Amino acid sequence: MIKMFYYDPHTDMGAEGEESIVCSESETIEYFTKLTKIEDNFLGIFKGEDTLQFAWLRDDIWLVDIPKVLRQGSYQKEATTAECIELIKKQYEYFDLSFSENYEFNEW
């Protein structure tokens, strides 16, 4: 079961932590595309301990972030909105974040 969390500071709406919600692929993409394009907004999906999250940076660019708590850092890269939607779709087909090894690792 994949759960989704998000926060939009413009609308002050979100679902985080215990409020994370089970969403279908289409619902998650709808939430993602409706996020206000301002600083500090984010959306993520997770299954078990694996998390894939997106934070708006500028224009059509998002930070893709895959936190690794035991390593005390995250695999990260920048991506367009379309690329983020493709990542979401792939995770709903089969949740596997092993592709993140090709991203840059940044310690917290």
pLDDT band, very low/low/confident/very high, at 29 (cuts 50, 70, 90): very high
In a domain, 81, yes or no: yes
Is residue 104 one of the residues assigned to a domain?
Answer: no
Residue 10 resides in a domain: yes
Q: Is residue 77 part of a domain?
A: yes
CB atoms within 10 A of CB 29: 17
Domain that residue 31 falls in: 3-98
pLDDT tens-digit readout, 68-95: 999 999 999 999 999 999 999 999 999 9
Task: Indicate the average pLDDT of the chain.
Answer: 95
Could you tell me if residue 70 is inside a domain? yes
pLDDT of residue 102: 83
Residue 93 lies in a domain: yes
Cα distance between residue 43 and residue 16, in whole Å = 9
Residue 27: name the closest of 40, 9, 15 by CA. 15
Query: Does residue 108 form part of some domain?
Result: no
Is residue 14, in this structure, part of any structural domain at all? yes
Number of domains in the chain: 1
